[in-house]
Amino acid sequence: MRAKGGYKNRIELLQGTLDLIILQTLQWGPQHGYRISQAIVAGSRELFQVDTGSLYPALHRLEKRRWIKSEWRISDNNQRAKYYRLTAEGRKQLASERSRWAQFVEAMAALMKPGEHEVS
Amino acid sequence: MDWLSRLSRRRRDDEITEEIESHLRMAIQDRMERGEEAEQARLAAQREFGNVALVTDATRRIWTSTTVETFLQDVRFGSHILWHSPGLSATAIILVALVIGGNTTIYSMVHGLLTSPASGVTAERLVCIGQISPDSSRFGPFTSYPNYLDYAAQSTTVRQLAAWLDERLTIGVGDGNYAVSGAPVTVGFFETFGVRIVKGRAFRDEDDRLEHAGLVAVISDRLWRERLENAADVVGRTIVINGRAATVVGVATPRFQGANLTPGEDVWLPITAFHEAVGSRKILSDRRQASILIAGQLAPGVSLRQAQSEFAALSAQLRAAYPDDNKDRRAVVFDYSVTAFLPGKPRVGRSGREQSRRRRGRPGPDRRDANDDVAARHRDRARAHGCDVVDVFRRRVAGRRSARPVRHHHLQHATAYARFRHPPGAGRVIAASPARSRSGGVSTHRDRSPDWFRSQRGRGCHFQARPVRGCANGSPHLHRRLHAAGGGGGAGILSARLARGPGECYRGVEAGMTHRLFRAQRRHRVEARRAPRRPDAGRHRHHDEERSD
């Protein structure tokens, strides 16, 4: 069971980053919705909280854009689950989103620590 | 297909529900594997997941167009209410039908009342002639009798012009005197309106001469029945009108009670004879006394607009001949109806589209004709000077605000341009017109020699032909075409203005410059006056002169 304090420390996802995070998670292989949410929480060292109210609409939105594709399979624990996998188009999108994210991080870093940025 | 899309949507909805259920099952199983009780794990998983219905709905909306769905839901909901409440549905439908029907009926009645002719009037293509101020702000239905006589004598577009005026009369019949409405009318009044005379006859020319047969009258069917007791020998009977004996010569059709909206006329008398009989003959010779109403029939093949043009010209002539008596009055022709003479501006026959066109300054069909005429003159003129006309490239209509001082502000000018090229050595200046013309833009100028232009320059004359560079139409494409066609000569612009008098009488063609060019030259003069004179000032003008040679 998670400690109560763990929830308090969690950070809300930045708007518009959920798609990138889902694509990033799916690059390691097909996953179903529950496992994706688990992977995001674990991958962010339990800092990000994934709201299921956003996760499933986001998954279906990406599927509608043909960046991911879904199929029903039997999971490891013998449950029927809908697995999502990245399409070729989705991989391109992921690359593009990552590049934009890198720029964003760089710009934010420059803003937050202007002195260090100038020196470097 | 509808059923296919519905099936696909249902399958997607089921998948979403199953996916979310699967998520919850896995979350519960995870928790149970971590040692939680089944019930506790279920509650915790559901709490962590949130509102299942909300998530399902949000996910489903990704695939569906919510606007269409909401509309369909509204339709379904509305039809459900109507179907399950037949009383309410019937009431709503009946109310809507009643409102639509009532509005349509009222509109039809009002429209019929306003636009229909008076009862008993059978003639078609009837028009009325009134007077309007030059700025169209004031309208009066009355005209003077002398003006009527002039219109009747000269008009070719409106025939059988009839005039009348409403009068309150005292009529003595048998046992008593009665106040009735009546109208002294011109002789052809009943023929003009197509009013049938059921007994006796209508007026003849000789009836209008008092000395010939005395005063005669046509009476209404109502008067005949109510006051003369259906007398079979009514024709020829004598009645007293305003103390004068009058012989009844006819009885009008039962439905006819006057040509315009009146309380109901019962007696009609020849206008001249009546005024002579009662001693008010002066009213018929006073041109300032606008007291009579005029109507007539459009001649076959004549349009309302043509009649308007003619009457505008006729009234202009009268204004010129009798300026004091016809000051600020212009004849206006409009469609006849029983309410046509009521106060208010009449429709003068222009459609909404035409009015809108005029407001926007775009030419209607008649103006296009005018422009074509000007364009043809351009071509002829340019060719006569050895120029090869490329084509007429622009046509437009200048409004009242012409740059040229125009005395007759109601004139409108159709302007056309022709582009041309001319061989080397050919005269460049083709036409000119004094800018300060006092003629109101209606004079015609023949082509002049360059010397004439030079002599006129000091008197405010502006040349019309000029190099195409800087012309009103500054299209680079046009320049390229003209220079390519030039072949060693030059290219030019030629414009002319067709002045149009009141009522679209084309009174003359004036070779003049476009107002845009005029403005440019005026601006140039103003700037030249303001700016200190430079050593090279006037070079451009000389250059023009040289080129014109």
Weakest-pLDDT range from A96-110, B40-54, B244-258, B367-381: B367-381
pLDDT, residue B66, reads 67
Query: What confidence tens digit (pLDDT) does each residue in B449-488 have?
Result: 445 545 544 443 333 333 333 333 333 444 444 444 433 3
Quick one: pLDDT band at residue A3, thresholds 50, 70, 90? very low
pLDDT, residue B420, reads 45
pLDDT, residue B263, reads 76
- Please name which of B236, B251, B248, B247 lies closest in space to residue B198, comparing C-alpha atoms: B251
Look at B50 and A52 and tell me if their CB atoms are within 8 Å.
yes
In the structure encoding, which two tokens stand for residue B487, read together? 């072949």
Mutate to test the interface with B, among A59, A60, A70 (most CBs of B within 10 A): A60
- Radius of gyration, CA atoms only, chain B: 40
CB-based contact, B36 to chain A, within 8 Å? yes
CB-based contact, B43 to chain A, within 8 Å? no
Residue B114: Cβ within 10 Å count = 13
Q: Please tell me which of the candidates B23, B27, B62 has its beta carbon nearest to residue A60.
A: B62
Residue B291 CB contacts under 8 Å (≥ 6 apart), including other chains:
B142, B144, B145, B165, B283
pLDDT, residue B382, reads 57
Look at B63 and A64 and tell me if their CB atoms are within 8 Å.
yes
pLDDT, residue B532, reads 53
In terms of pLDDT, which residue wins out, B395 or B308? Answer: B308
pLDDT, residue B103, reads 95
User: Alpha-carbon distance B169 to B246, whole Å?
Assistant: 12
Look at A34 and B26 and tell me if their CB atoms are within 8 Å.
yes
Q: Is B215 helix (H, G, I), strand (E, B) or coil?
A: strand
Weakest-pLDDT range from B229-238, B244-253, B378-387: B378-387
> Is B262's pLDDT higher than 70?
yes
- Please name which of B422, B423, B419, B439 lies closest in space to residue B493, comparing C-alpha atoms: B419
In terms of pLDDT, which residue wins out, B313 or B376? Answer: B313
In terms of pLDDT, which residue wins out, B415 or A48? Answer: A48
Look at B59 and A80 and tell me if their CB atoms are within 8 Å.
no
Quick one: pLDDT band at residue B214, thresholds 50, 70, 90? confident
CB A97 within 8 A of CB A27: no
Query: What confidence tens digit (pLDDT) does each residue in B153-212 have?
Result: 989 899 889 999 988 888 888 778 888 899 999 999 999 999 999 999 999 988 988 887
What region, left, alpha or beta, does residue B298 occupy, with left being phi > 0 and alpha being psi -120 to 50 degrees? beta
Which residues of chain A make contact with B18, given a CB cutoff of 8 A? 80, 82
Quick one: pLDDT band at residue B63, thresholds 50, 70, 90? confident
Phi, psi of B350 (to 5 degrees): -95, 135
Q: Please tell me which of the candidates B25, B49, B59 has its beta carbon nearest to residue A57.
A: B59
Shortest distance, CA B22 to any CA of chain A (angstroms):
6
In terms of pLDDT, which residue wins out, B533 or B314? Answer: B314
> Is B44's pLDDT higher than 50?
yes
Query: What confidence tens digit (pLDDT) does each residue in B406-456 have?
Result: 333 333 344 444 444 444 443 333 333 333 333 333 233 334 444 554 554
pLDDT, residue B213, reads 75
pLDDT, residue A71, reads 92
In terms of pLDDT, which residue wins out, B89 or B361? Answer: B89
Query: What confidence tens digit (pLDDT) does each residue in B268-325 have?
Result: 999 999 998 888 888 888 888 888 999 999 998 888 888 888 888 888 888 888 888 8
Residue B369 CB contacts under 8 Å (≥ 6 apart), including other chains:
none
pLDDT, residue B429, reads 35
CB B246 within 8 A of CB B219: no
State the average pLDDT over residues A81-108. Answer: 92
Which residues of chain A make contact with B40, given a CB cutoff of 8 A? none
pLDDT, residue A8, reads 55
Mean pLDDT over the full length of chain B: 70
Shortest distance, CA B7 to any CA of chain A (angstroms):
18
pLDDT, residue B345, reads 53
Which residues of chain B make contact with A57, given a CB cutoff of 8 A? 55, 58-59, 61-62
Q: Please tell me which of the candidates B22, B34, B51 has its beta carbon nearest to residue A82.
A: B22
Shortest distance, CA B395 to any CA of chain A (angstroms):
54
User: Alpha-carbon distance B215 to B240, whole Å?
Assistant: 10
Phi, psi of B398 (to 5 degrees): -90, 140
User: Alpha-carbon distance B497 to B375, whole Å?
Assistant: 10
State the average pLDDT over residues B73-89. Answer: 87
Q: How many CA atoms lie within 13 A of B92 on its CB side?
A: 10
Residue of B nearest to A54 (CA): B55
Q: Please tell me which of the candidates A35, A52, A64 has its beta carbon nearest to residue B55.
A: A52
Residue A13 CB contacts under 8 Å (≥ 6 apart), including other chains:
A21, A48, A49, A50, A54
> Is B403's pLDDT higher than 80?
no
Residue B177: Cβ within 10 Å count = 11
State the average pLDDT over residues B131-155. Answer: 86
Look at A32 and B26 and tell me if their CB atoms are within 8 Å.
yes
Instruction: Provide, rounded to the nearest whole percent, the portion of chain B with pLDDT above 70.
Output: 61
User: B61-95: buried (b, 16+ CB within 10 Å) or exposed (e) per residue?
Assistant: ebeeeeeeeeeeeeeeeeeeeeeeeeeeeeeeeee
Which residues of chain B make contact with A53, given a CB cutoff of 8 A? 50-51, 54-55, 58
CB-based contact, B25 to chain A, within 8 Å? yes
In terms of pLDDT, which residue wins out, B371 or B173? Answer: B173
pLDDT, residue B189, reads 94
Place of tokens 């414009």: B495
The CA-atom distances, in angstroms, between B314 and each of B152, B310, B508 are 11, 6, 17
Mutate to test the interface with B, among A34, A70, A83 (most CBs of B within 10 A): A34
Quick one: pLDDT band at residue A10, thresholds 50, 70, 90? low
In terms of pLDDT, which residue wins out, B259 or B447? Answer: B259
User: Alpha-carbon distance B358 to B340, whole Å?
Assistant: 24
CB-based contact, B51 to chain A, within 8 Å? yes
Task: Return the ∠ at Cα B298 (arms to B365 and B307), rounded to 5°.
Answer: 45
Q: Please tell me which of the candidates A1, A52, A77 has its beta carbon nearest to residue B29.
A: A77
Residue of A nearest to B27 (CA): A34
State the average pLDDT over residues B141-163. Answer: 91
pLDDT, residue A1, reads 40
pLDDT, residue A67, reads 94
Q: Please tell me which of the candidates A56, A61, A79 has its beta carbon nearest to residue B25.
A: A79
User: Alpha-carbon distance B146 to B314, whole Å?
Assistant: 13
Residue B38 CB contacts under 8 Å (≥ 6 apart), including other chains:
B28, B32
Place of tokens 């006073």: B286
E strand intervals along B186-329: 197-200, 215-219, 238-241, 244-252, 265-270, 290-298
Query: What confidence tens digit (pLDDT) does each residue in B92-101 have?
Result: 899 999 999 9
User: Alpha-carbon distance B485 to B478, whole Å?
Assistant: 10
CB-based contact, B16 to chain A, within 8 Å? yes
Q: Are strands A11-12 and A48-49 parallel, antiparallel or unpaired?
A: parallel
The CA-atom distances, in angstroms, between B221 and each of B41, B196, B235 are 104, 11, 12
Which residues of chain B make contact with A75, given a CB cutoff of 8 A? 26
Q: Which pTM was predicted?
A: 0.44
Instruction: Provide, rounded to the nearest whole percent, the portion of chain B with pLDDT above 90.
Output: 20
